[in-house]
Amino acid sequence: MPSENPHVLIAGGGPVGLLCAWLLGRRGLRVRLFDDNAAPQADPRAATTHPATLELLAEDGFAADMARVGLVAPIFQFWDRPSGEKVAEFDHVLLKDDTRFPYVVQCEQFKTAQLLLERLRKFPNVELLFGHAVADVAHSADSVSVEVRGARNMTTHTAAYLIGADGGRSTVRKACDIDFEGFTWPERFIVLTTPYDFEARRGYCYRSYFADPGAWCNCFKVSADGPPGLWRTVYPTDPAQSEDAILSDAGVQARMQSFFPSPEPYEIVHRNLYVTHQRVAATFRKGRVLLAGDAAHVNNPIGGMGLNGGIQDAANACDKLAQVLRDGAPERLLDLYGRQRRTVAVEFVQEQSIANKKRLEARDPAARKKNLDELRAMAADPARARQFLLRTAMIASQQRAAAMTLEEA
Ligand SMILES: Cc1cc2nc3c(=O)[nH]c(=O)nc-3n(C[C@H](O)[C@H](O)[C@H](O)COP(=O)(O)OP(=O)(O)OC[C@H]3O[C@@H](n4cnc5c(N)ncnc54)[C@H](O)[C@@H]3O)c2cc1C
């Protein structure tokens, strides 16, 4: 290990922690990252990366690499499952004057992490310590230290700043006594992945949302190991049903058949069940500690905004840390990070992801009709469709954050 202390410690080697390591490493800062897993995880969770996030990842061809290993998806659709009607279609081409990326990229998060790891190998100033769990945090006026549990012993590491990117159960957040305000949905979400070609056989595009008063569904395509790719379907589950019953072959087939009847059984290549929360940390900065990614905010996956928010945190935090550490900018800039990103998490990501869920699951016939009529009307009017896309593409939230000033922080 280098004899000098790092400038920044990072807890967590998921996509957000790795991105922070790359963004700081690129700016010449010394970084030490800890992850409790023995090796990077082949995590099947996030895939959809929105235009506002691709803008932040344009440097060094990163967004282009994500598109190369993923799928480019300019269109998304809303369907009414009981009637089988396609209710609305939105094309990101309407954002062609707002972004260089008028599409989303469907890139599984383990591939994003892999692309980051490849780049990080080139940085001698970045140390990645897998198999190391951050166990505690201690602050002083001019430094922060972490206690780290390795395979053989506990060690202490000190730096100017610590980024807690250690996921929804963040040890850093708990060690800093920061509340995680919000709630947990009673129903768990199941993701069933199949090679069944929903585009060829049913005419669905790469991102399709199905409203249903019984149980909604999201269906989207990922490239997986290359053509022909895989389709992920996401559903809510009955809180009274046991995990074994939900994940059993019979349970999985029944769910697929009830939504998408087919004469043959479905081939299922992955089945994953998730507890889903809507929570935001009470603050994203406490002294020399910044929270980012799921450590700072979690939401349901409808609309695909969780990791996007985490990537936006990373870009914002690392830019400001570099200004403070390298260019002598005032530390107060880090308060602006907290204000900007927490505002976006509360006003946009929480609000939109909850609204997305309610729109798909509405049971009252009048409410359902209103929701679907509203989607139809927006899709039919290019000016309204663009306003809707500016929000779903997370451009509006980035604009809101950019308008906030240091004086407000
Ligand atoms: C079904 C599903 C679909 C999703 N789809 C999307 C999508 O399409 N788009 C989107 O933007 N988001 C999506 N998300 C959300 C996305 O998966 C998360 O927001 C993302 O994983 C957050 O990344 P992270 O790096 O902050 O946290 P994580 O991925 O959780 O990584 C945290 C890392 O920290 C490590 N760690 C934990 N504790 C410690 C410790 N004490 N010391 C050291 N290391 C530690 C963990 O092992 C892990 O490696 C989805 C989520 C789910 C469940």
3-state secondary structure the chain: CCCCCCCEEEECCCHHHHHHHHHHHHCCCCEEEEECCCCCCCCCCCCEECHHHHHHCCHHHHHHHHHHHCEEECEEEEEECCCCEEEEEEEHHHHCCCCCCCCEEECCHHHHHHHHHHHHCCCCCEEEEECCEEEEEEECCCCEEEEEECCCCEEEEEECEEEECCCCCCHHHHHCCCCEEEEECCCCEEEEEECCCHHHHHCCCCEEEEECCCCCEEEEEECCCCCCCEEEEEEECCCCCCHHHHHCHHHHHHHHHHHCCCCCCCCCCEEEEECCEEEEECCCEECCEEECHHHCEECCCCCCCHHHHHHHHHHHHHHHHHHHHHHCCCCCHHHHHHHHHHHHHHHHHHHHHHHHHHHHHCCCHHHHHHHHHHHHHHHHCHHHHHHHHHHHCCHHHHHHHHCCCHHHC
Instruction: Kindly state the tokens that stand for 145.
Output: 């230290």
Whether 171 lines ligand 1, by a CB cut-off of 6 Å, is yes
The answer to whether the pTM exceeds 0.85 is yes
Ligand 1 mutation target, pool 166, 184, 278, 308, most atoms within 8 A of CB: 166
Whether 35 lines ligand 1, by a CB cut-off of 6 Å, is yes
Atom of ligand 1 nearest to the CA of 171: 41
**Ligand 1 center–CA 43 separation, angstroms:** 8
Ranges of residues in the chain whose predicted pLDDT is under 50: 1
State the pLDDT at residue 3. 58
Whether 293 lines ligand 1, by a CB cut-off of 6 Å, is yes
Atom of ligand 1 nearest to the CA of 12: 34
Phi, psi of 350 (to 5 degrees): -65, -50
Q: Which of 369, 401, 374 is nearest to 388 (CA)?
A: 374
The arrangement of strands across the sheet holding 8-11 comes to: 126-130, 31-35, 8-11, 161-164, 289-291, 285-286
Atom of ligand 1 nearest to the CA of 133: 42
Whether 345 lines ligand 1, by a CB cut-off of 6 Å, is no
Return the residue whose CA atom lies nearest to atom 29 of ligand 1.
14
State the pLDDT at residue 406. 85
State the pLDDT at residue 408. 76
The span from the CA of 326 to the CA of 285, in Å, is: 19
Whether 36 lines ligand 1, by a CB cut-off of 6 Å, is yes
Whether 134 lines ligand 1, by a CB cut-off of 6 Å, is yes
**Ligand 1 center–CA 171 separation, angstroms:** 14
- Exposed/middle/buried for residue 329 (C-beta within 10 Å: 0-12, 13-18, 19+): middle
**Ligand 1 center–CA 108 separation, angstroms:** 12
Atom of ligand 1 nearest to the CA of 11: 43
Whether the Cβ atoms of residue 195 and residue 230 lie closer than 8 Å to each other: yes
pLDDT tens digits along 164-204:
999 999 999 999 999 999 999 999 999 999 999 999 999 99
Buried b (16+ CB within 10 A) or exposed e, 353-365: bbebbebbbbeee
Amino acid at 224: A
State the pLDDT at residue 1. 44
Whether 165 lines ligand 1, by a CB cut-off of 6 Å, is yes
Q: Which of 125, 238, 279 is nearest to 246 (CA)?
A: 238
The span from the CA of 110 to the CA of 45, in Å, is: 8
Instruction: Kindly state the tokens that stand for 201.
Output: 């056989």
pLDDT tens digits along 327-336:
999 999 999 9
Whether 223 lines ligand 1, by a CB cut-off of 6 Å, is no
Atom of ligand 1 nearest to the CA of 47: 8
**Ligand 1 center–CA 211 separation, angstroms:** 27
